[in-house]
Amino acid sequence: MGVKQLRLDKGWSQEELSQLSGLSVRTIQRIEQGNKAGLESLKSLAAVFELQVSDLHKIEPNLMASSKTEKQETDNMNEESSNNGKESAEKAAVIAQVKRIKAFNKNLLSYAGVILLLLVINLLTSPDYFWVVWPALGWGIALLIQGLSAHEVVNVFGSDWEKKQIEKRLGKNQD
């Protein structure tokens, strides 16, 4: 399993990984193609994937040149990398929430535009019966649920749930 597989497992595009890691998209493309990465790039990727640099090196051994100095440097950076991993995970969670809010806002604008258009059509075709209420109500309920979830008012399947499920499944695999 390489960097590309780790990225795909998280469901990220190369652009998203680029934003999270601070690396350029081109650098990520080169690494995924098997080119060697510098220590700073490895530290960034390890932090984003919540791994130690040495673990990332084990996953993809050809990722970094294997000189003794780099190995020592890698070992020294593992502790720093674990601290950066926590910060990176928090950053990733915030980015994910902002994306959910953005998606909600887009859907809200679409809802307003389409329902307004349907209202005009309703008034022109059959002003005595307001059928526009039904699509407005159905779509509105779905939009309300998305908004509550995006703004974390009601968070049934949120990050806490995900974390518990991951820990539960990892615990089963380790037994």
pLDDT single digits (tens) 94-147: 888 899 899 999 999 999 999 999 999 999 999 999 999 999 999 999 999 999
Instruction: Determine contact, residues 77/54, Cβ cutoff 8 Å.
Output: no
- Separation of alpha carbons 63 and 72, rounded Å: 16
3-class DSSP state for residue 104? Answer: helix
- Between these two residues, 78 and 126, which has the higher pLDDT value? 126
pTM over cut 0.75 = no
Domain chopping of the chain, boundaries? 3-84, 88-174
Percent of the chain with pLDDT over 90: 27
Residue 51 has pLDDT above 70, yes or no: yes
> What pLDDT, on the 0 to 100 scale, is given for residue 66?
46
In angstroms and rounded to an integer, the radius of gyration of the C-alpha atoms of the chain is 23
Distance spanning both ends of the chain, measured CA to CA: 23
Q: Does domain 3-84 have CATH number 1.10.260.40?
A: yes
Residue 73 has pLDDT above 70, yes or no: no
Q: Show the tokens assigned to 161.
A: 């749930």
- Between these two residues, 133 and 15, which has the higher pLDDT value? 133
Residue 65 has pLDDT above 80, yes or no: no
Alpha helices, H only, the chain? 3-10, 14-21, 25-32, 39-48, 53-59, 68-125, 133-150, 159-174
